[in-house]
């Protein structure tokens, strides 16, 4: 089983990104996804910076994948997309169908989590277009994956989001700018003030969602490492970890240890609970509301 680091979903300053990826080059990861997937206005790294980082990570032995933006609206978004699609060096994760169009017929691409693969027939279509790996939607349950994995096209790899705040929604509107009474076109890049997003709670003070520019995330951290054995038996190939500003290195190390059998999945899950700095959840995996935390497999 391989470990993948998803793209950084937040807006971090240039130095922080550089330091983060220098550290990740040494982390026990197999695959690193790079690129700005949330907002085209963010520019602490531009494509040449991502490509330079990609080359460094590749030299450190990582498989590098360039992720495309999820919500593509303007011609300049499309220009960036075309540059990524035609980079000629690194695999691409297509996060909407425009990217799929540009990548189909190439040597292969990753079908991102937002392509809405909910059944085997859709996966078959993407495989025929050249997808070599697919990332399940965050809403996917074990039952849903079971039938898809059982009918998986030849050579297709399955990747599951096992750790991090889940990306739940995208909008035309920037909620971080809105929180500061700023228009999106003059957002003053306020999302840089929130390295793990801006917390939104209910009126009775329960942490609920996280605002991250035009993206909305779960406040609770998806923690599925306790389901490692089930994932293995389904044939899941890759586990995705979503970066956060603190403890990502430790989180990767714990998951690696669990995958290699150094600690039990349940013990790993408990250690991750502490590193997440937020409540955990695993509801989607059990076909329940995503925010639910049901009892973990392996616990009495």
Partner 1 sequence: MLQKKMELVCPAGSLVALKAAVDHGADCVYIGFRDGTNARNFGGLNFDLASAREGVRYARSAGARVLLALNTYPRDGGWQTACNAVDAAADLGVSAIILADVGLLEYAATRHETMRRHLSVQGSATNYEAIRFYHEQYGISRAVLPRVLSLEQVAHLRANVPVEIEVFGFGSLCVMVEGRCALSSYVTGESPNTAGVCSPARAVRWEKTPLGMESRLNGVLIDRYADDENAGYPTLCKGRFKVDDETYYAIEEPTSLNTLELLPELARIGVSAIKIEGRQRSPAYVAQVTRVWRNAIDTCYRAPQQFVVQGAWMAELNKVAEGQQHTLGAYHRPWK
What residues from 180 to 199 belong to the interface with partner 1 (CB under 8 A)? 183-185, 198-199
Binding residue (CB under 8 A) for partner 1 from 53, 216, 223, 282 = 216
Closer residue to partner 1 (CB): 236 or 254: 236
Angle, helices 47-59 vs 75-85, to 10°: value is 20
Residue 259 has phi, psi (to 5 degrees) of -60, -35
- Report the 10 Å Cβ neighbour count for 10: 22
Nearest alpha-carbon partner for 30 in 69, 65, 76: 65
Binding residue (CB under 8 A) for partner 1 from 205, 261, 299, 300 = 205
Closer residue to partner 1 (CB): 26 or 74: 74
By the rule CB under 8 A, 295 interacts with partner 1: no
Question: Interface residues for partner 1 in 113-172 (CB under 8 A)?
Answer: 114-116, 118-126, 129, 137-139, 143-144, 147-148, 151, 166, 168-172
How far is Cα 282 from Cα 110, in angstroms, rounded to an integer?
24
By the rule CB under 8 A, 59 interacts with partner 1: no
By the rule CB under 8 A, 200 interacts with partner 1: yes
Closer residue to partner 1 (CB): 51 or 209: 209
Binding residue (CB under 8 A) for partner 1 from 88, 105, 206, 261 = 206
Report the SS3 class of residue 193: helix
31-34: strand order across its sheet = 131-135, 109-111, 91-94, 63-67, 31-34, 2-5, 238-241
Question: Interface residues for partner 1 in 62-91 (CB under 8 A)?
Answer: 70-75, 77-78, 81
23 Cβ contact partners less than 8 Å away, ≥ 6 residues apart: 248, 249
Joined tokens for residue 49: 């910076």
CA torsion sign for 15, 18, 23, 24 is: positive
Binding mask 234-253 for partner 1 (x = CB under 8 A): --------------------
By the rule CB under 8 A, 99 interacts with partner 1: yes
Closer residue to partner 1 (CB): 249 or 290: 290
């Amino acid at each position: 089983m391989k470990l993948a680091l998803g793209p950084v979903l937040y807006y971090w300053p240039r130095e922080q990104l550089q330091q983060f990826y220098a550290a990740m080059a040494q982390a026990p990861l197999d695959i690193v996804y790079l690129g700005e997937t949330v907002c085209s206005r963010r520019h602490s790294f531009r494509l040449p910076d991502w490509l330079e980082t990609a080359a460094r990570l590749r030299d450190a032995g990582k498989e590098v994948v360039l992720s495309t933006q999820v919500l593509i609206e303007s011609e300049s978004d499309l220009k960036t997309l075309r540059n990524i699609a035609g980079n000629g060096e690194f695999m691409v994760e297509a996060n909407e169908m425009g990217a799929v169009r540009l990548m189909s017929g190439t040597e292969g691409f990753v079908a991102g989590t937002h392509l809405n693969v909910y059944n085997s027939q859709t996966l078959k279509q993407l495989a025929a277009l050249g997808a070599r790996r697919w990332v399940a939607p965050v809403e996917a349950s074990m039952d849903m994956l079971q039938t898809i994995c059982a009918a998986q096209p030849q050579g297709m790899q399955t990747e599951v989001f096992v750790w991090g705040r889940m990306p739940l929604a995208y909008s035309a509107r920037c909620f971080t700018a809105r929180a500061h009474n700023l228009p999106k076109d003059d957002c003053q890049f306020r999302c840089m003030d929130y390295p793990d997003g801006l917390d939104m709670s209910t009126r009775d003070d329960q942490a609920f969602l996280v605002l991250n520019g035009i993206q909305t995330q779960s406040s609770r951290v998806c923690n599925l490492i306790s389901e490692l054995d089930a994932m293995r038996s389904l044939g899941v190939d890759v586990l995705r970890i979503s970066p956060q500003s603190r403890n990502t290195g430790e989180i990767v190390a714990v998951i690696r240890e669990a995958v290699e059998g150094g600690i039990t999945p349940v013990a790993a899950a408990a250690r991750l609970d502490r590193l997440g700095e937020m409540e955990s959840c695993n509801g989607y995996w059990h076909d329940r509301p995503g925010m639910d935390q049901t009892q973990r497999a392996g616990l009495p």
